[in-house]
């Protein structure tokens, strides 16, 4: 297949690209290196079936030209602002980097005749739901961050294009994805803080925030399985695990993995139930729709987190 991967230098794509390339697919990756890392892409640059383009997906003419030239069969649309703090500071950041970029990708698909799209959405779109675990048909959706609002807007654009132009889509609402090669996130931040000062660790909020963590390998397994098994015009799934892990647990496991004495590390809390404005403190996602297809993650939340801490500590030595 001819495949375009947006956000090709990002956290999820750095684990996806080897899979696609080893399968013999012709892969065309795009990234502007805002959050993505050059060293992540470098792992795949030697493959003869990989082509990389450095430009901003907000440049609609460049996106349309790429799709016109490649005529891809499938798009993995992973590009987005995954660091919510940027969207809090700059209120148009997610609008541009999420919603408008998604429109550009969809328009390029329409013009090129590309008919299949896998989209990385988020469980954050539910906001603070009254029902937990939260199913895919929960509503009304009331996101509390600009990041989540952008993801919700992207989903509506995708379903409208699917209806009008015959583009089949797979929308995956993620739990927290974790694993090697992070660009940010709680594990990444804790390791950096402890490397700078191994005697103290600042924890945002009260540390009781608890969410389902999915290892990136399970995430990709789930997306590929869903793409193969679900064949509706629009296929929407929570991609998560049934259990959850707290920030306090992640802090303790990170201290342990770095070989530090937990009794000598002072934990300092910023206070409040949220880590930052727009943070949803408690997340539980109903995973029965994916399970009904026959898919289950290999790792529970705690196992995914512990493995990711170990992988990231080793990577960041």
Question: Cis omega (within 30 of 0) on the bond before 205?
Answer: no
Residue with tokens 């408690």: 282
Q: Strand, coil or helix: what is 148?
A: helix
Q: Which two tokens stand for residue 293?
A: 């297809």
Q: Strand, coil or helix: what is 4?
A: strand
How large is the average pLDDT for residues 38-58?
Answer: 95
Are 270 and 159 within one domain?
Answer: no
Give the integer Cα–Cα distance in Å for 288 and 299. 16
pLDDT at 312 over 80: yes
pLDDT in tens, 230-239: 999 999 999 9
How large is the average pLDDT for residues 43-55?
Answer: 96
Are 137 and 226 within one domain?
Answer: yes
Instruction: Let me know if residue 288 belongs to a domain.
Output: no
* 254-261 own/partner pairs: CB under 8 Å, 24+ apart: 254/187, 254/190, 254/191, 254/194, 254/309, 254/313, 255/194, 255/201, 257/306, 257/309, 257/310, 257/313, 258/191, 258/194, 258/195, 258/198, 258/313, 260/194, 260/198
Are 247 and 157 within one domain?
Answer: no
**pLDDT confidence bin for 146, thresholds 50/70/90:** very high
Instruction: Share the mean pLDDT of the chain.
Output: 96
pLDDT of amino acid 88:
76
pLDDT of amino acid 96:
95
What's the predicted TM-score (pTM) here? 0.96
pLDDT in tens, 92-109: 999 999 999 999 999 999
pLDDT of amino acid 309:
98
Domain, as residue range, for 307: 183-212+243-283+300-315
How large is the average pLDDT for residues 274-288?
Answer: 95
Say if CB 255 and CB 248 are below 8 A apart. no
Burial of 92 (0-12, 13-18, 19+ CB in 10 A): exposed
**pLDDT confidence bin for 244, thresholds 50/70/90:** very high
pLDDT in tens, 5-18: 999 999 999 999 99
Instruction: Let me know if residue 295 belongs to a domain.
Output: no
Give the integer Cα–Cα distance in Å for 211 and 280. 9
Number of domain units in the chain: 2
Q: Which of 239, 255, 274 is the last residue of a domain?
A: 239
pLDDT of amino acid 216:
98
pLDDT at 229 over 80: yes
Instruction: Let me know if residue 232 belongs to a domain.
Output: yes
Least confident among 15-29, 60-74, 79-93:
79-93
Contacts of 93 (CB under 8 A, 6+ apart): 81, 86, 87, 146
Are 206 and 219 within one domain?
Answer: no
């Amino acid at each position: 297949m001819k495949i375009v991967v947006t956000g090709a230098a990002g956290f999820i794509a750095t684990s996806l690209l080897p899979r696609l390339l080893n399968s013999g697919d012709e892969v065309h990756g795009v990234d502007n290196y805002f959050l993505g890392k050059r060293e992540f892409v470098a792992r795949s640059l030697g493959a003869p079936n990989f082509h990389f383009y450095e430009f901003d997906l907000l440049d609609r003419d460049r996106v349309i030209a790429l799709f016109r030239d490649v005529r891809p069969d499938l798009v993995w649309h992973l590009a987005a602002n995954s660091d919510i703090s940027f969207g809090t500071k700059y209120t148009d950041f997610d609008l541009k980097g999420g919603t408008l970029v998604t429109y550009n990708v969809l328009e390029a698909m329409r013009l090129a005749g590309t008919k299949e799209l896998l989209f990385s959405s988020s469980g954050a779109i539910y906001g603070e739901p009254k029902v937990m675990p939260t199913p895919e048909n929960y509503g009304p959706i009331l996101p509390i961050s600009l990041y989540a609002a952008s993801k919700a807007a992207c989903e509506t654009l995708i379903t409208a294009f699917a209806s009008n132009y015959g583009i089949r889509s797979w929308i995956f609402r993620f739990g927290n994805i974790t694993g090697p090669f992070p660009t940010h996130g709680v594990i990444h931040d804790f390791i950096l803080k402890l490397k700078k000062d191994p005697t103290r660790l600042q924890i945002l909020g009260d540390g009781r925030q608890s969410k389902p963590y999915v290892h990136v390998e399970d995430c990709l397994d789930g997306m590929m399985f869903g793409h193969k098994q679900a064949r509706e015009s629009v296929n929407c799934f929570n991609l998560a695990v049934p259990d959850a892990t707290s920030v306090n647990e992640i802090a303790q496991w990170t201290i342990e993995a770095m070989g530090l004495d937990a009794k000598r590390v002072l934990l300092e809390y910023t206070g409040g139930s949220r880590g930052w404005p727009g943070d949803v403190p408690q997340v539980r996602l109903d995973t029965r729709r994916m399970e009904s297809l026959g898919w289950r993650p290999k790792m529970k939340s705690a196992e995914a987190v512990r493995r990711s801490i170990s992988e990231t500590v080793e990577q960041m030595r």
